[in-house]
A and B are shown apart, each in its own frame.
Chain A
């Protein structure tokens, strides 16, 4: 199940948020050795985390973090605008209907269940979560930067990006991709993954009248 976490419900999800930033540290710092900052809580954090983004988090049946990612509209400050413009020949994508996906992270402790096409289920759930969230938000495309190992995963996941740019050599080669957000994309991801219906957590029933007492 995918839970959307924003600054509005973050306090209620303090533990999941803690797990997310630690999982990001394990992946981006320890495993991929990216040039990222880790704070004294052991969280990998950057300047986009303070812009009130929306995080999509994949939770297991016990409510534990299995993977997560971050979405921001490209009209505002984005990694693409601030860090990748030079890398990709001056391409700046900015539109209220194109959103940037960053910090796509599958927890090293996540279930290793694979879909029939050999992609980790958590990855697929996150991809479908992006597509479904985009559809309700009026978003038409997703933009993201990724490395070579992800290309086959996206292909097998039924949601291949179109490459807009690439740069770098060998292991360091990075790609700029665009994903289409549409009912057809969602159907293709569902077909590739075996997920039926929505992966998004149903919207909370408004809380009971307790606050009246206060």
Chain B
């Protein structure tokens, strides 16, 4: 088992029913991050009047951000709207003086010295941005992102769907449904059968099995395979292993 799975695993073992702030704290602790920002920019039922934000920033930084109108300067929001791929904040254009001052101010408020955003896309043009900050040096940060980008993609969409659920919008309250193939694959996972053997059993290829597990995991808003199996059992979609 590689490190990534270990990290996600500890997140999965969170007690069920914890709220979004606790989820944020768990993510910060697991990955050694300073702060987390979830920003829904276009979610029907949530962002009609104003953008929806959930964040771990200290209050004094939040009020300073609004007071100084940093919204109009901050290049992260624009980049997150226009680009579907995750981006390191150091790749954005910070060359103007007001932006450099903004960065300095953020560091002084202990927000972090590096950051990264994962844009989130949902059905019906849904759009949100999940961002994290840290005090890792630029080199460390780049290495860290290379290792954990897959994790962050999963965590970002998990947070997004958890927030929609807690706010009662979008897919909220809808009992997840899986295709017969996804159920079959998860059922075999529940019996502890590995991907290769599932492929043999179902006469498909290994990559297809992984895609079905991944899709089922996403539909169940689980963080990894074990989590998906547990949730599928909870919803009565598959049988518990005997």
What is A's interface to B at a CB cutoff of 8 Å?
A: 4, 6-8, 51-54, 71-73, 75-77, 81, 90-98, 133, 136-141, 143, 162, 164, 178, 180, 203, 206-212
* Distance (whole angstroms) from the CB of A205 to the closest CB of chain B: 10
> Can you offer 10 A-B residue contacts whose CB atoms are under 8 A?
A6-B85, A72-B84, A92-B215, A97-B150, A97-B214, A139-B150, A178-B211, A209-B96, A210-B95, A211-B96
Q: What's the minimum C-beta distance from B179 to chain A, rounded to whole angstroms?
A: 6
The contact of B214 among A91, A138, A141, by CB within 8 Å, is A141
A53→B96 CA distance, assembly (Å) = 27
Residues of B within 8 A of A212 (CB): 95-97
- Find out whether the CB atom of A73 lies under 8 angstroms from the CB atom of B154: no
**Contact (Cβ within 8 A) B179 A207:** no
Inter-chain contact B205/A75, CB cutoff 8 Å: no
Q: Please name all residues of chain A whose beta carbon is closer than 8 Å to the beta carbon of B153 when the two chains form the complex.
A: 96-97, 137-139
A92 to B179 alpha-carbon distance, docked (Å):
9
User: Which of chain B's residues have a CB closer than 8 A to the CB of A208?
Assistant: 95
A77 touches B125 (CB 8 A): yes
* Residue B102, interface by CB 8 Å: no
Distance of B52 from chain A, by nearest CB (Å): 18
By Cβ-Cβ distance, the 9 closest A-B pairs, closest first, are: A138-B149, A76-B121, A7-B82, A8-B82, A138-B150, A96-B153, A211-B96, A6-B83, A162-B207
A203 vs B123: C-alpha distance in the bound complex, in angstroms? 30
Contacts from B to A (Cβ < 8 Å): 78-79, 81-86, 91, 93-97, 118, 120-126, 146, 148-154, 156-157, 179, 181, 204-205, 207-208, 210-211, 214-215, 217-219
The answer to whether residues A140 and B150 also contact, given A71-B84, A206-B93 and a CB cut-off of 8 A, is yes
B156 surroundings in chain A (CB, below 8 A):
96
A208 to B94, CA, bound (A): 10
Chain B residues with CB under 8 Å of A94's CB are: 215, 218-219
Which single member of B120, B124, B179 contacts A91 (CB below 8 Å)? B179
Asked if B83 and A75 sit within 8 Å, CB to CB, the answer is no
- The answer to whether A162 touches B83 (Cβ under 8 A) is no
Given A77-B123, A206-B93, A136:B157 Cβ within 8 A: no
Bound-state Cα–Cα, A52 to B127, Å: 11
Closest to A81 in B: B123
Query: When the two chains form their complex, are residues A52 and B126 in contact, meaning their CB atoms are under 8 A apart?
Result: no
Asked whether, in the complex, the Cβ of A52 is within 8 Å of the Cβ of B149, the reply is: no
List residues of chain A with CB within 8 A of the CB of B219.
94
Chain A residues positioned under 8 Å from B152 (CB to CB): 138
Verify B86–A54 contact, CB threshold 8 A.
no
Residue of A95, A140, A207 touching B93 (CB-CB under 8 A)? A207
A159 to chain B, nearest CB (A): 12
Which of A90, A140, A162, A206 is within 8 Å of B94, CB to CB? A206
Contacts of A133 in B (CB 8 A): 85
Assess the A72–B208 pair: CB atoms within 8 A: no
Kindly name the residue among A81, A94, A96, A140 whose own CB sees the greatest number of chain B CB atoms within 10 A: A96
Q: Distance in Å from the Cβ of B184 to the closest Cβ of chain A?
A: 13
Taking a contact as CB atoms closer than 8 A, the residue among B79, B150, B181, B208 that contacts A8 in the complex is: B79
Q: Is the CB of A96 within 8 A of B154?
A: yes
Q: How far is the CB of A75 from chain B (nearest CB, A)?
A: 5
In the complex, the chain B residue whose C-beta lies closest to that of A71 is B84
Q: How long is the Cα–Cα vector from A96 to B204 in the complex, in angstroms?
A: 23
A54 to B157, CA, bound (A): 19
Docked Cα-Cα span, A11 to B80, in Å, equals: 17
Apart from A92-B179, A93-B211, A138-B149: 14 A-B pairs, beta carbons within 8 A: A7-B83, A71-B84, A72-B84, A75-B157, A77-B124, A81-B123, A91-B179, A96-B218, A97-B214, A138-B150, A143-B211, A210-B95, A211-B95, A212-B95
